[in-house]
Structure 1
Amino acid sequence: MKLVSMSFVEFQSCHLLLGMAFALCFNQVSSTTNETDRVALLAFKAGITGDPFGVLNSWNNSIGFCQWYGVTCSWKHRRVTALDLSSQRLSGSISPHIGNHSFLREIWLVNNTLDHEIPPQVGQLRRLCHLRLDNNSLVGEIPKNISICSNLVTLVLQGNRLIGEIPGELGSLSKLQAFENRLSGIIPSSLLNLSSLAFFYVGQNWIQGTLPTSIGLTFPVLEEFSVHENQLEGLIPPSISNCTKLVLLQLANNTFSGKVPSFENMHKLQKLALDYNHLGSGKAGDLNFLCSLTNNTKLLKVDITMNKFGGMLSKCIGNLSTTLTHFVAWGNQINGEIPEEIEKLVNLEILNMDLNKLSGVIPSNFGNLQNLVALALGGNNLGGTIPSPLGNLTKLMALDSHGNNFHGKIPSQLSNCQSLYYLDLSHNNLSGTIPPQLIGLTSLTIIVNLSHNHLVGVLPTEVGNLGALTALDISDNLLVGEIPSSLGDCTSLTTLRMGGNFFHGSIPQSIKSLGGIEEMDLSCNNLSGQIPEFLTIFHSLKVLNLSYNKFQGMLPREGVFKNATGTSIIGNNELCGGLPEFHLPNCIYKGSKRRKINIIILSKKVNKPVSSSIDDSCPNVSYGTLLKATDGFSSMSLIGVGSFGFVYRGILEGDGTIVAVKVFHLVRCGALKSFIAECEALKNIRHRNLLKILTVCSSTDYQGNDFKALVYQFMDNGNLERWLHPNPTSSHSNELPKKLNFSWRINIAIDVAFALDYLHHRCHIPIVHCDLKPSNVLLDAQMVAHLGDFGLVKFLVGSSLDVVVGEILVKCFEVDKTFPSI
C-alpha cells in the first residue's frame, strides 16, 4: 500500500468533496435543483484557504444552506440569488462551480484577498446583474464570455492584478451602467457605445490611445467618467460637454494636450480633475474653460495642477459656484494679478497656485475667505507686503508664500490663525523682527521656515512654545543675540537651521533636550566656547554644521563626530584634536607649574563610510514617478545634454520638490559604467559644494527596457558654462546677467577649490573628479557653486595622492581651456 501525505487543508478539501459526492448520490430530502446550489456552495467553501473571521463555519449540514452566512435565496424556489462575503479577509480562489448557481443575480466579494483567475464559468450566470470582485488579488484576463451575462448592470474589478486588454465583447452588455478595471490596451469602441452606462471607471491602468470625438453623444446618462492615471493622449473631445448629467470628470495623470473645451452644459458637475497632463499652450486664453463653469451651482473641486496653462486668471473665477471648496492650479504658467473676485468663493478651503508666474500683491480681501484651510502662493513673482487681514483666517492650517518678493514686516496678526501648523515665508525680502506671538504659536507642528530674508533682532524666547514642531529654519537672516535657552523646549525638532546669522555666545545646555534631532546647522555665526559633549549622545543626528564660528578647545571624537562627512567644523581656528580626518592640530595642555605638551600620535586608516550624500529622507522613486515629474521627459523639461544621457527639470508629485533628473542613455557605450561610478562616488561623500543627490532610480520603463536615473537637487542658476558663454538664442538667456561680476568669480573659484580640497584630502578614499569644466559647475539660487557629474571619477586607493592628483589635474585642465581666470 502506498501512503500519500497531505496537508490539513488538502485533507479538509478532500473531505468536503467526498461529502458532496455522497450527498449527490444519497440525499433524498432536497430537490435536485436545490441540491445543485448546496453542492456549488460547498465547492466554493472548499476553494477558500483562509477565513480569519470564521464566517463559513455556518456552512454545514446543521442548517439549510439558505441560512448560511452571506447567502440569500429566493422565497419561492429556495434557490441562491445573492452571495455577499465582502470585507471578510477571505483568501483562496473562486470555485468554477459558481457557474452552477443558475438563479444567481448578485456576487459581492469585495475587499478580500482572493487570488487565481476569474473562472470563465461566471459567463453561465445569465441572470447575473451585479458582479463586484474589486480589491482582491485576482490575476489573468477578464473572461470574454462574461459578455453572455446580458443582464449585467454593474461590473467592478478594480484593485486586482488583472492583465490584458478590455474585451471588446463587453460592448454587447446593453444594460451595463458601471465599469471599472485595471487593464492595458485601448478602450474598445463597442464599450463606448453603451448608452446605458452611468459609471465608467478605468483609472490606474496602462490604457493607451485617445478618447473618441463622439464620446459626449454616446453616453447620455453618464454620471461619473474616470480614466485617470493611464497613457491616454490627444485632445479632450468638445462633445463631452453634452454629458449633462456628469458629476465627476477625472482625466488626471495622462498626456492630454491642447485646448480644454467648454463645459457650459455640465450643470451637475462637482469634481473636475485635469491635473498632470500637457493641456494648454502657455498663452492667453488657456483658462477660458473656467468661465464656462459659472452656470454650475454644485461645483466642489477643480484641479488643473501641472499642465501648461498660461494667461491670466479671469475675474469670472469669482462667479464660480459658492460651493467650491478646492481650487488647485500649481505648476503652470499662469501670469498676471490674482483676481480680487476670488473673495466671493466663501466656502473655499484649499487655494493652491504655487509655482506659476503670478505678479502683483495678495488681495487684502482674502481675509474674508473664512473657511480657508490652506493658502499656497509660493514660487511666483508676487510682491508688496503680506496683508495683515490674513490673520482673520482662523481656520488656516497651512500658509506657503515662499520664493516671492514680499517685503516689509511679518504681520503679527498671523498669530490669530490658531490652527496654523505649516508656515513657510522663506526666500523673500521680509524685514523687521520675528513677531513673538507668531513664533510662539503652539499649533505650529510641521515647519516654520523664515529663512533667506532680512529679519533682524533676536530669536524671541517664545520659540520655546513650539514643543511639537518638527522643523525650524531661520537661516540666512540678520538675527543677533544669544540662542535662547527656551529652544531646548522644542523637543520634537528633527531639523534645526540657524546658519548665516549673527548669533553669539555658547550653545546653551538646554539644547541637550533635543534628543531626536537629525540635522543641526549653526554655521556662519559668531558662536564661541567649547563644543558641548552632549552632541555626542544625539544618536539620530546625521548632519551637524558648526563651521565658520569661534568655537574653541577639543573637538569631541564620539557620536556624530566620528562622521567626518556628516560633520563640518571648518572655519573654527581655535579647535584642536578630533579625528585625523578633520585635520586639526593636536591639543596642548598646560600643567599647574610648568608647560607640558602631550603629543597624541594616531594612525590614519580608511574607515567604512558611515554616511551618504544620498538624502535618506527622500523616498525611492519609480520610472512612472519620474515620467510624470518631467512631463514624459519632454523637450520642454530638457535642461542639459551630456555624453551619456540627458538632464531634465522635474517636479515631484506630492511635495512639489523641484529636481534635476539625469537619465542615462544606456545604449551608449560607457553609460552604465558612468552610472555605477557616479553612484559609488556619491554614496560616500557629502559637502556643501558638491551637487546633492536626492535619490536613485534603477528600474525598467513601460517597454521593459532598463532605466537608470539620478535625481539631484535643482540648481536655480544653471551651470557656469551658461554664464561664461551665454547663448543669445537660448530661452534662458534673458534670465542671466551679461557677465559675472568680480565678486561672484572669486566666490565660485573658492567654492570649487573647497570641493576639490574635500575630494582630494578629506574623503575616506581620495577621489579625483577628472571632468572639471564649467558645464559641471552648478550654481544655486545664491550663486553658491556645486561640483557635479562624477561619472569619470577615480578612486585613489593606496596611491601617492599628491603625485597622482597633480598628473590627473594637468590632464583635466588640458581638456578644458575655458575655466574662468580671476
Structure 2
Amino acid sequence: MKKNIFLLLILLFLIQFSKSLSSSNETDQQALLAFQNLVTTPTHFLANNWTKNTSFCTWFGVTCSPKRQRVVALSLPNLQLQGTISPSLANLSFLSVLNLQNNSFRGGIPYELGQMPRLRVIDVKNNQLNGSIPTSLFQHQRIQVISLALNEFSGEMWRGPWYVPQLRVLNLRNNSLTGIIPPSVGNATKLLNFSLYGNKVGGNIPKEIGNLSQLAFLYLFNNQLTGFIPATLFNISSLVALSLGTNSLSGPLLLDKGNSVSNLKFLSIPYNQISGCIPTNICQLTELKFLSIAYNNITGDIPRNIGCLSKLENLYIGNNLIKGTNPTSLGNISTLQYLHCGNNRIVGQIPPELGRLSNLRELSFGMNYNLIGQIPEAIFNISSLELINFSYNNLSGRIPTTTGLHLPNLEVLQLGGNKLEGEIPLFITNASKLQIISLEYNSLTGTIPNNLGNLRELQILLLHTNQLTNEPREHDGEMWRGPWYVPQLKVLNLGNNSLIGIIPPYVGIATKLMNINLSGNRINGNVPMEISNLSQLAFLSLFDNQLTGSIPPTLFNSSSLLGISLSFNGLSGPLLLDEGNIVSNLKHLSMSNNQISGCIPSNICQLTELKLLSISFNNITGDIPRNIGCLSKLERFDIGENPIEGTIPTSLGNISTLQYLDCVDNWMKGQIPQELGKLSTLRELSFANNYNLIGQIPEAIFNVSSLEVINFSFNNLSGRIPTTTVLHLPNLKELYLGDNQLEGEIPLFITNASKLQTLALNDNYLKGTIPNNLGNLRLCGMHILEIPTCAITNHGKQSKLKEVLLKIVTPVVIASFLIFLFVSIWIMKRQKKGKSKDVEKEEQITCKSEICIASMIELGLDCTKEMPESRITMTDVVKRLNKINKAFLET
C-alpha cells in the first residue's frame, strides 16, 4: 500500500512538471513569435522558417538547452532584418546570448532586456538603434559583453553606481553619446575592453579607470575629452592598447619612473594639445610597437636613446614643435616600418644610419625647413621603401644617382622645396611602382628624362620651378613627349622652367589628365585642339609662354573644366563660345595680356559657375553684354586696357558676389550706374582712364562698406563729391577722383577715413578750404597741401607719409619745372635769335641753366623733407619758382 502511494506521488509530480515545462516552452515560443511579428526581411526568411508546425528549438538562429528545451541563445546576425526589438524577448528567462548585429533594427533597446537574469551577452552593433542606453544594463550582475557600437544612441552614460562585476567588454563606439565618462566605471573591475571612440563625450578622463586592473584595450579617441591624461592609466600592467587621439587633451605626457605598463604595445594620442617633451624614460615601454603623438604641441628634442624601443614598428611624431637634430639611434630600431617626423623644427643633417632600417616602408621628414646637407645615398638602397618625403627643407647637393635602382616598391618620392641641383637621375624609372614624383622648387638642371614615360603607374608629376630644359625634336619642334604616354597620369606640372617647342597634338592621348600646368616656359605654337579630348581635365594653365594662334572653340566643350589660364601669350582671334557648349562648371577664365579681338560673347551666360573672368590687355571691342549680370557667382571681373566702348550695363549691380571690378583704360561712356551701390561685397572698383564717363558719382557707391579702392580718375565726371564719402567706408584705403570736372568742397566726412592711405583729388574744380584735421596719420602733416601738422608724432608712419607725399608732390614739381623750362627756352630763343654763334654768350646761358637746375633740385628737396614741419609751404614754392625763372631770363 505504501509503495502504491509513493508511485502515485511520483506520477503526480511528473504530470505537474510536464505541465510546467510545456507552459514554459509555450512562453518561449510566444516570445519568439512576438519578436518575429515586429521584424521583416527582404526575403521573408523568418516568416517562412519560424512556423508553429515545427519546434521553436529547430528555428533558424535559436539555440535551446538540451535538458529543459529552453531558449538560451538567439543569434540572427547579417540577415538584413528590419523593424524594432520586441520587449517580449525579456520573457526568454533562460536567454544567455542575444546577437542581432549587422542588421537594420531601429528604435531603442527595451529596458526589460537589462533585467533578464541569465543574460551574458548582448550584441546589437551596426544597426540603426537610437535613444538612451537602458540604465538596467549597467546594474546587471551577470552581464559580460555589452556591444552597442555603430548605432545612433544618444544621451549620457549612466552616471549612477555601476554594478557590473562580470563585465568584460563594453563597446559603445560610433554613436552620439554625450556627457562625461562616469567615475563609477572604475567599479567594472573585470573589464578587459572599453571602447567609446567616435562619440561626443567630454570632460576629463576619470582617474578611476586606473582601478581596472585587468584592462587591456582602452579606446577613447575622437571625442571631446579635455584635461590631463591621468597618470594612473600607466599603472595598469595589463594594458596593451591606449588610444586617445582626436580630443582636446592637454598637459604633458608623463611616464613616472617605475610605472608598470611594460606590456603596452599601442600608444596613440594624436590630434590633441599635449605639450612638454617626449619623456626620456620612454624606454620603459619595452614592448611598444606603435607610437603616435603627431599633431600636438610637443617641444624639445627627440630623446637620444629613442633607439631603445627595439620592437617599435610605427613612429609618428609629425606636426609638433620638436626641435634639435635627428638622433642616430633611430637607425638601431631594425623593426621600424613607418617613420614620420614631418612638419617640425628639426635641424641638422639626415643621419646616414637610417639606411640600416631594412624593413622601413615610409620615411618622412618633410616641412622641417631647416634640414641641411645631402640626402644619404644609403637610404635609397632600402628596397622595402614605399614613400620618401624630404620636401621643403634646406637640403642641397644632387639627388643620389642610384635613385630607383634599388627601390622596386617605391610609390611616392617627394623632394620638392629644397636646394637640390644637378640632373634627374636616369635610374628613377627603375622604380616601376612610382605614383607620385615631386621635385618642384629646386635648382635641377638638364633635360627631363624621356623614359619617365615608362612609369606606367605614375599619377602625379611635379617638376615646376626648376631650371629644366628639353631638346625638341628637330623635324617638328615638339616639346618633351614623355608624359603624354603615361596612362595613369592625372597631374602634370612643368611650369617655370625653360622648356621650348610646341605642345604636341598627341596630348589628347593622356585621357586621365586632370591638371596640366606648363606656364612660365618658352613654349610656342598653337594651343592644340586635341586638348579637348581630355574629358577629365579640370585645370589648364599655359600662361606666360609664347603661344600664338586662336583659342580652339572646342576647348570650352569639356564639362569637367574648372579653370583655364592662358594669359601673357600672343594668342589672337575672337573669344568664341559655341551655342550649346557644356562648360557649365568653369570657375576661372584668365586670358589677359594677349591679342584677342572681337566682342565679349553675348552667350557668356552659359558659364553659370564663373567666379573669375580676366580678359584685360587685349584688343576686345564692342560693348559689355547687357546681360552680364547673369554671371551670378562672379567675384572678379577684369576687362581693363581694351577698346571696349558703350555704356556700363546696370545688370552689373545684380552680381551680389562681385569683389573686384576693373574696367580701367577702356572707351566707355555715359554715367556710372546707381545699381553698383548694391554690390555689398565689392572691395575694388575702378573705371579710371575712360575719359568719357559723365554725370555725378552715385552716392550709393559710397555706402558699400567693404570698398577698399575707388578709382574714377581721368574721366569727365561732374557735380559734387558725395557728402557721405568715407562715412560708410571704414575700409577705404585708396580714393582716386582726380582729373574730372568735380566741384564744390571736399566733404568733411573724409576725416573719418582712418585707413585711407592715398587720396587724389587733383585737377578738378574743387573749392573751399582743406579740412583742418584729416584724423589720419597717413595723410596729415602735408604742408605742401597746407594740411596742418599731426598732433601726434609717430615716425612709424613716415613710410606711408612719404608714399602719399611723393604721389602728390612729385608730379606737381616735375610738371612745373617742365612748363617753366619749355617757356624759358622759347623766350630765350626769340631773344637770342641770330646770336647762336656767340660762344661766350652760349657759355653764359649754360652756366645760368646749371644754376637754375641746381635751384630746382634744392626746391624739390625742401618739398620732401622727412619732418612735416621742415617742409616749405605752397606759397613759398611759387615764390621760389618765380625767382628762379627771373634769374634765368635776366640778360
TM-score by length of 1: 0.68
Match of 1:277 among 269, 272, 276: 272
The superposition leaves residues 699-745 of structure 1 with CA deviations (integer Å, 9 ceiling, x where unpaired) of xxxxxxxxxxxxxxxxxxxxxxxxxxxxxxxxxxxxxxxxxxxxxxx
| Letter paired with 1:571 | N
- What CA deviation, in whole Å up to 9, does each residue of 1:741-771 have, x standing for no partner? xxxxxxxxxx9999xx9xx999x97958666
Closer, same or farther: CA 500–809 of 1 in aligned 2, 3 Å? farther
**Does 2:130 align with 1:139?**
yes
Letter in 2 for 1:318: G
Correspondence list, 1:126-525, <5 A: 126-169=117-160, 171-181=162-172, 182=175, 183-213=177-207, 215=209, 217-262=210-255, 266=261, 268-281=263-276, 285=300, 287-288=302-303, 291=305, 294-295=308-309, 297=311, 299-320=312-333, 322=335, 324-360=336-372, 361-391=374-404, 392-445=406-459, 447-457=460-470, 459-525=479-545
Correspondence for 2:822: none
Is residue 2:543 matched to residue 1:549?
no
Question: How far off its partner does 1:285 sit?
Answer: 3.5
Rounded Cα–Cα distance in structure 2 between residues aligned with 1:523 and 1:433: 22
Q: Which moved more, 1:241-250 or 1:128-137?
A: 241-250
Assess, with a 3 A threshold, how the Cα gap between structure 1 residues 243 and 464 changes in structure 2: closer, same or farther: same
Higher alpha-carbon deviation: 527-536 or 302-311: 302-311
Q: Give the match's secondary structure for 1:145.
A: helix
**Which residue identity does 2:381 align to in structure 1?**
N
Match of 1:540 in 2: 560
Q: Kindly indicate whether the alpha-carbon contact (under 8 Å) linking 2:600 and 2:623 is maintained by their aligned counterparts in 1.
A: no
Identify unmatched segments of 5+ residues in structure 1. Answer: 1-26, 588-598, 615-679, 691-750, 774-789
Distance 2:597 2:189 in 1: 80
Report the Cα offset of residue 28 of structure 1: 7.9
Aligned residues: 627
Residue aligned with 1:39, SS: helix
2:217–2:240 Cα contact (<8 Å) kept: yes
For residues 300-325 of structure 1, the C-alpha deviation after alignment (integer angstroms, 9 at most, x for no partner) is: 43434444444444333333360x43
Cα pair 1:271 1:302 within 8 Å, conserved: no
User: Which amino acid in structure 2 is aligned with residue 608 of structure 1?
Assistant: C
Deviation at 1:295, TM superposition (A): 4.3
SS in 2 for 1:81: strand
Aligned match of 1:792: 706
Picking from 62, 77, 89, the partner of 1:86 is 77
In the alignment, is the contact (CA less than 8 A) between 2:241 and 2:266 conserved in 1? yes
1:305 to 1:174, Cα distance in 2 relative to 1, 3 A? farther
Superposition RMSD in Å: 4.0
> Residues 243-301 of structure 1, C-alpha deviation per residue, up to 9 Å, x if partnerless?
3443322111012223323498655444332211112346754544x95683453x443
1:644 aligned partner? none
* Counterparts in 2 of 1:561 and 1:224: CA distance versus 1, 3 Å: closer
Question: What one-letter code is carried by the residue in structure 1 that aligns with 2:353?
Answer: E
- Structure-2 residue corresponding to 1:579: 601
CA distance in 1, matches of 2:458, 2:137: 55
The CA deviation at 1:514 is 1.4
**CA drift at 1:791:** 7.4
Compute the displacement of 1:572 (Å): 0.8
**1:720 matched residue in structure 2:** none
Residue deviations 1:490-517, cap 9 Å, x none? 1111211111111111123432421332
Task: Supply the AA of the counterpart residue of 2:457.
Answer: S
**8 A Cα contact 2:416 2:440, kept in partner:** yes
- C-alpha deviation, 1:419, in angstroms: 0.8
CA distance in 2, matches of 1:809, 1:550: 42
Q: 2:22 pairs with 23, 27, 31, which one? A: 31
Q: Distance in 1 between matches of 2:49 and 2:709?
A: 70
Distance 2:192 2:149 in 1: 17
5+ residue gaps, structure 2, are 1-17, 277-296, 472-478, 605-614, 637-653, 686-703, 735-749, 759-799, 808-891
- Secondary structure of 1:535's partner? helix
Partners of 2:491 and 2:725 in 1: how far apart? 41
1:563 and 1:143 map into 2 onto residues whose CA distance is 51
- How far apart, in 2, do the equivalents of 1:585 and 1:316 lie? 62
Q: Contact between 1:271 and 1:301, CA under 8 Å: does it hold in 2?
A: no
Bigger shift: 167-176 or 394-403? 167-176
Distance 1:292 1:454, change over 3 A: closer
Instruction: Tell me how far apart the structure 2 counterparts of residues 259 and 466 of structure 1 sit (CA, whole Å).
Output: 49
For residue 140 of structure 1, report the CA deviation from its aligned partner: 1.3
2-side partners of 1:307 and 1:83: how far apart?
A: 50
Q: Which amino acid aligns with 2:601?
A: L
- Post-superposition offset of 1:191: 0.9
**Identity, % of aligned pairs?**
29
1:412-453 deviation per Cα after TM superposition (whole angstroms, max 9, x unaligned): 3221111111222223333332222225422112x2222223
Measured against aligned partners, the alpha-carbon deviations of 1:666-711 in whole angstroms (never above 9, x if no partner) come to xxxxxxxxxxxxxx978567x8xx9xxxxxxxxxxxxxxxxxxxxx
1:74 aligns with 2:68: no
Taking a change above 3 Å as real, the CA distance of residues 56 and 268 of structure 1, as seen in their structure-2 partners, is: farther
Asked if structure 1 preserves the Cα contact closer than 8 Å seen for 2:344 and 2:368, the reply is yes
Worse-matched range after superposition: 140-149 or 401-410: 401-410
Contact 1:82/1:104 (<8 A) preserved: yes
Tell me, yes or no, if the aligned pair for 1:106 and 1:129 is still in contact at 8 Å: yes
Task: Give 2:87's aligned residue.
Answer: 96
1:630 maps to none
Q: Describe the shift of the 1:173–1:301 C-alpha distance in structure 2 as closer, same or farther (beyond 3 A).
A: farther
Q: TM-score, normalised by structure 2?
A: 0.63
Contact persistence 1:167–1:188 (CA under 8 A): yes
User: Partners of 1:293 and 1:602 in 2: how far apart?
Assistant: 69
1:266–1:296 contact (8 Å) kept in structure 2: no
Amino acid at match of 1:415: T
Q: 1:586 and 1:478 mapped to 2: Cα distance?
A: 29
- Aligned to 2:104, which of 85, 104, 113? 113
User: Rg bigger for which structure?
Assistant: 2
* Cα distance in structure 2, aligned partners of 1:54 and 1:791: 68
In structure 1, how many angstroms separate the alpha carbons of the residues matched to 2:121 and 2:163? 16
Shift of 1:58: 0.7
Q: Deviations over 1:206-258 (max 9, x none)?
A: 2222234564x423332221111112223333443333443322111012223
Q: Greater RCO between the two (CA within 8 Å, min separation 6)?
A: 1
CA distance in 2, matches of 1:291, 1:60: 69
The residue type equivalent to 1:171 in the other structure is: W
Q: CA deviation at 1:396?
A: 1.4
Structure 1 residues 158 and 562: CA distance shift in structure 2, 3 A: closer
Contact 1:259 1:286 in 2 (8 A): no
